[in-house]
Amino acid sequence: MKLELRGITKTFGPLVANDHIDLVVEPGEIHALLGENGAGKSTLMNVLYGLYDPDGGQILLEDRPVTFDGPGDAVRAGIGMVHQHFMLVPVFTVAESVALGYEPAGPGGILDLQAARRKVEEISERFGFHVDPDALIEELPVGVQQRVEIIKALSRDAKVLILDEPTAVLTPQETDELIKIMGELQDAGTSIVFITHKLREVRAIADRITVIRRGKVVGEASPESTETELASLMVGRSVSLAVDKTPAEVHDNSLVVSDLTVLNGSTPVVDHVSFTVQGGEILAIAGVQGNGQTELAEVILGIDEAAAGSITLDGKELLGLTVRQRLRAGIGFVPEDRSTDGVVSSFSIAENLVLDLYDTEPFAKGVSMYPARVAENAEVRTQEFDVRLTDIQDPISTLSGGNAQKVVLAREMSRPLRLLVASQPTRGLDVGSIEFVHKRIVAERDHGTPVLIVSTELDEVLALADRVAVMYRGRIIGIVDAREAGPAGINRDVLGLMMAGVPLEDAVQQAASHQSTLAGADALADGKDLT
Amino acid sequence: MSTPVIPVTAGTPGDELPGAAVLGKISYRIPITYAVLALAALLGLVGTMIGREGVWSQETEFQSRYGDQWFTIPNFSVPSMLTVIVLTVVLIAAAVYGYLLTRDRRTAPLWLHIVVGLAFVLAFLTWAGAGKTSVIPVTSLLAGALALSVPLIFGAMSGVICERSGIINIAIEGQLLFGAFAAAVVASLLTAPYLGLIAAPIAGGLVGALLAWFAVSYQVNQIIIGVVLNTLVLGLTSFFFSTLLADNASTWNARQPLGVIEIPLLSQIPILGPVLFRQTILVYLMYVTVIVLQIMLFRSRWGLRTRAVGEHPKAADTVGIHVNKRRVWNTILGGAVAGLGGAFFTVGSGLAFGREMSAGNGFIALAAMILGKWNPTGALVAALLFGFSKNLGNVLGTIGSPMPSQLLAMLPYVITIFAVAGLVGRVRAPAAEGIPYTK
Ligand SMILES: Nc1ncnc2c1ncn2[C@@H]1O[C@H](COP(=O)(O)OP(=O)(O)OP(=O)(O)O)[C@@H](O)[C@H]1O
Ligand SMILES: [Mg+2]
């Protein structure tokens, strides 16, 4: 279906989030929207989906003007959307979440849950997402929730599909699957608007690229452009996509995890895990989401409980300490899901920046708090991390996804740390911000702090890590050293195989002999092969 | 390009890998609850042995006859001490069995809860009635308990309907009262008690509509508007009560009892039969309400959407569900259910309307809903437990129990809190409860 936006304008108070934006998406076209954090991409899509009323402009479907009173109208008109912040009810099962709004039901409105379950199974099978229809949403890691959100959008047979950062927490393999699905939908005539910050994806799949900066369309780019060209078009300056770092200089201080087990009910989700992170090095945990990384990170901070084992930081046992004691011991923690665990959405940006320090000097003394100092701190931090905002006293829910992530990072990385644990640290950040955050993480390491990164993003793992541990089904199936990088060391193929449960040595062998098949993903991303 | 995609979600059992199996912590809440009950029985027993003269020869007399029945169990007496000892032993055994089960990571079956509950209540009754000339009227104790529970159950169902959609209904009290008033007046004016049953839900629904209007359109704090509505209904009904109704009671406020409908066969079941199946249509409607609501809430389209709206309204909005419309209708429906419950005070009990008749039942209903975890059946059990403990206090008060009356008055609250802490555990409210939805 042909979609056209004409002169869409949307303001929030003094802020013009969308300024006369024009956009045409032809039937069967995949149209990528690029732009830095806060550029106005999600706002534009929310206007299109009927969630926001535009202050000006027109939406046309098949050249006929339409007005949407709410998402219900947009859905009826054939528009589907994967939202950047998932729209899933935490206490529902996967099947219920997918069915909601389109429930298969019998007489008396009694749900046919069997049919709902089948639908989930059918779609997840067809597209290679493996999701249990009876799992509770709140118990799923974000990567799996992302798959559910995609299944939900696909189950509606939309004629215009909006994908707002659908790949932010997917693994490279899953992203490949999604790209394949997008190709199939395209062949069937579906128009797709695709928002992402990962430039290789854009180059692999987009037919056209529109770049937005500060609410305005600044131009179109051809999918043949290099990543560097796209990056500089987005942020308006040249961006270095590689991370500069010197070899790690390790210190004596360390995080030691030994024989750690975490249970979910009676199934171990972290299973006898042992590793050490020395001061001055970055250990990355790679793996497909749902293999225990979430629980591992959370048990270090104390949100999850360990069933056995020990975690020591600089020789002191952490298990048994409260979360607050651990924070005070100098743990910086970036949670994988910023909207549920990272921020209090009704609090102001300034308050969110002192969530962990609000009761200590200089922000408070005795029973009194000093709002002026909280505000001053917020000014400094948001400047430093380039958070795009209108006023630091606005609720954090008014920030764009990437800017909210920067607030979490600014809070967690701006005090003296003895350990940094960061899950998906650059989730939703634009390339310019990723460059900055990577530099900060490396600086933290060079400062002598042990750094533990959990990421599904292999590029990020390879760029940052000194050593990489791969988790599979709750176990660490191998730790590889980045200093051995090369054909025999870590590369995408070896890590990809290990993430599928192949032990290190076999993975190295297989990767060497089957290079050609596995290089497919890269070839795809380079736009040479679109099968 | 066939990079493998791995079918894994959290907790997928993997291939067996070496390493000792680690097991999670065991929660001993249930055996501890049993043990506390056993201990209470034991203490009562020991205290009685030491304190009372001639305890060994005392007897307790039970009565189960209640109205006409084909066959009745005659009154019977049991030796008090011996019975209490036997029941205490049962309680201790249950506690030990519960402990063993929990230790072996098995869950205590439902029948064990029932055995423990029955044994404790019987032990308590036997102890309280020991050596008394009056009998312990078992069946009428239960019938009275059900009667006290009816408005609570309707009120709690009203709460479930509203709060599951995200609207806090503090106005249950007012809805009950207005329902009672409307039922009495309409039934009296038209000398037709059944028409009272039509007027009551309309009155309750009206209060619900006011609540929804202020809560949704003006986004007034829902607790405050609920309290205001309660006061409004109280003032309004009291005003009419002392003017119009008092001046001409025979026209406006005459007693119009609903007829008792006896269900053949079922009402002949000993003890429970007459309690459950010799009732007015209102009580049968209550059974239907609870069952239908339980099914609809968790198995129907309406229920799924209601819960979505109460948990994550924005997610509901993005799939085209009209959040505020759903909330308004649910609040009106909830008000109507509470209004119907209010009719029990007047036509349901064959009484005329009286000032402040609802007497705080709306708030207890709200508590029952919370203790029942916002589930219809849970709220039903909590409300029944509450009604039972309250009537137990009443009955013991009349037959004269060894317990001081102030303690008896506390009984319903103590028992309810204890049961919840011991058996129910953590409760979680609908996430978006009380938060107005705006885009
Ligand atoms: N509800 C709101 N109230 C006030 N301001 C808002 C609101 N929603 C978005 N904004 C502002 O509008 C601007 C555009 O936000 P938007 O979410 O569209 O950015 P984006 O391009 O999607 O960024 P990202 O890549 O980080 O997701 C931001 O400056 C944001 O702070
Ligand atoms: Mg966005």
Ligand 1 centroid–CA A38 distance in Å is: 5
Q: How confident is the model at residue A518 (pLDDT cuts 50, 70, 90)?
A: very low
- Chain B residues within 8 A of A518 when measuring between CB atoms: 3
Which ligand is nearest to the Cα of residue A211, counting in written order? 1
In this model, does residue B68 exceed pLDDT 80? no
Q: What is the pLDDT of residues B267-283, one digit of tens each?
A: 888 888 888 999 999 99
Contact B9 A131 (CB under 8 A): yes
Closest CA to A406 of A360, A342, A328, A499: A342
pLDDT at A506: 82
The segment with the largest mean pLDDT, out of A143-147, A484-488, B333-337, B357-361, is B333-337
Which residue reads 């419309």 in tokens? B325
B172, HSE (Cβ side, Cα atoms, 13 Å): 32
**For range A110-126, the mean pLDDT:** 90
Q: What percent of chain B has pLDDT over 70?
A: 92
- Chain A residues within 8 A of B2 when measuring between CB atoms: 517, 520
Contact B5 A130 (CB under 8 A): yes
Q: Which fold has domain A3-235?
A: Rossmann fold (3.40.50)
| B322 Cβ under 8 Å from any chain A Cβ | yes
Average pLDDT, chain B: 87
Contact B314 A308 (CB under 8 A): no
Q: What percent of chain A has pLDDT over 90?
A: 53
Q: What is the interface pTM, i.e. ipTM, of the complex?
A: 0.83
Q: What is the pLDDT of residues B375-397, one digit of tens each?
A: 999 999 999 989 998 898 888 88
Which ligand is nearest to the Cα of residue A83, counting in written order? 2
Q: What is the pLDDT of residues A172-194, one digit of tens each?
A: 777 888 898 899 889 988 999 99
pLDDT at B59: 83
pLDDT at A514: 60
In this model, does residue A516 exceed pLDDT 60? no
For chain A, the domains span 3-235, 242-330+416-485, 342-413
Tell me how far apart the alpha carbons of residues A518 and B327 are, in angstroms, rounded to a whole number. Answer: 53
Q: Point out the residue among B15, B314, B319 whose CB comes nearest to the CB of A101.
A: B319
Average pLDDT, chain A: 88
* Amino acid residing at A467: R
For chain B, the domains span 29-133, 144-424
In this model, does residue B249 exceed pLDDT 60? yes
pLDDT at B227: 96
Is the Cβ atom of A388 under 6 angstroms away from ligand 1?
A: yes
Distance of CA B279 to the CA centre of its chain: 18
Is the Cβ atom of A432 under 6 angstroms away from ligand 1?
A: no
The segment with the largest mean pLDDT, out of A224-233, A489-498, B428-437, is B428-437
- Chain A residues within 8 A of B313 when measuring between CB atoms: none
Q: Are A59 and A48 in contact (CB under 8 A)?
A: yes
Contact B305 A294 (CB under 8 A): no
Tell me how far apart the alpha carbons of residues B42 and B91 are, in angstroms, rounded to a whole number. Answer: 9
Higher pLDDT, A407 or B130: A407
In this model, does residue B15 exceed pLDDT 70? no
Contact A475 B307 (CB under 8 A): no
Helix ranges restricted to H, B190-280: 193-212, 222-240, 246-247, 249-252, 272-277
Secondary structure of A452-493 as H, E, C letters? EEECCCHHHHHHHCCEEEEEECCEEEEEEEHHHCCCCCCCHH
Do domains A3-235 and A242-330+416-485 share one topology? The answer is yes
Least confident of A252-256, A304-308, A477-481, B56-60: B56-60
Chain B: give the shortest CA distance to residue A521, in Å. Answer: 6
pLDDT at B60: 83
pLDDT at B8: 41
Q: Point out the residue among A173, A290, A521 whose CB comes nearest to the CB of B9.
A: A290
Tell me how far apart the alpha carbons of residues A131 and B270 are, in angstroms, rounded to a whole number. Answer: 52
In this model, does residue B415 exceed pLDDT 90? no
Is the Cβ atom of A301 under 6 angstroms away from ligand 1?
A: no
Which CATH number applies to B144-424: 1.10.1660, 1.10.3470, 1.10.10, 1.10.760? Answer: 1.10.3470
Measured from the CA of A212, which atom of ligand 1 is nearest? 21
Higher pLDDT, A143 or A312: A312
Is the Cβ atom of A40 under 6 angstroms away from ligand 1?
A: yes
Beta strands in A359-401 (DSSP E): 364-365, 368-369
**For range A202-222, the mean pLDDT:** 91
Q: What is the pLDDT of residues B79-117, one digit of tens each?
A: 888 899 999 999 999 999 999 998 888 888 888 988 998
Ramachandran angles phi, psi of A393, nearest 5°: -90, 0
* Ion ligand 2, residue ranges at CB < 5 A: A 42, 84, 400-401
Which stretch of DSSP H or E encloses residue A363? Answer: none
In this model, does residue A517 exceed pLDDT 50? no
In this model, does residue A281 exceed pLDDT 90? yes
| B105 Cβ under 8 Å from any chain A Cβ | yes
Contact B10 A141 (CB under 8 A): yes
Measured from the CA of A403, which atom of ligand 1 is nearest? 26
Contact B6 A500 (CB under 8 A): yes
Q: Are A186 and A192 in contact (CB under 8 A)?
A: yes
* Amino acid residing at B140: S
Q: What is the pLDDT of residues A1-56, one digit of tens each?
A: 899 999 999 999 889 999 999 999 999 999 999 999 999 999 999 999 999 999 99
Is the Cβ atom of A84 under 6 angstroms away from ligand 1?
A: yes
Q: What percent of chain B has pLDDT over 90?
A: 56
Q: How confident is the model at residue A489 (pLDDT cuts 50, 70, 90)?
A: low
pLDDT at A484: 66
| B301 Cβ under 8 Å from any chain A Cβ | yes
Residue nearest to atom 4 of ligand 1 (CA): A398
Q: What is the pLDDT of residues A397-437, one digit of tens each?
A: 999 989 999 999 999 998 899 999 999 999 889 988 898 89
Per-residue DSSP letters for A260-291?
Answer: EEEEETTEEEEEEEEEEEETT-EEEEE--TTS
In this model, does residue B11 exceed pLDDT 70? no
pTM: 0.85
Q: How confident is the model at residue A243 (pLDDT cuts 50, 70, 90)?
A: confident
Tell me how far apart the alpha carbons of residues B181 and B356 are, in angstroms, rounded to a whole number. Answer: 10
Q: What is the pLDDT of residues B282-293, one digit of tens each?
A: 999 999 999 999
Measured from the CA of A18, which atom of ligand 1 is nearest? 14
Is the Cβ atom of A48 under 6 angstroms away from ligand 1?
A: no
- Chain B residues within 8 A of A305 when measuring between CB atoms: 25
Contact B10 A290 (CB under 8 A): yes
| CATH superfamily placement of domain A242-330+416-485 | P-loop containing nucleotide triphosphate hydrolases (3.40.50.300)
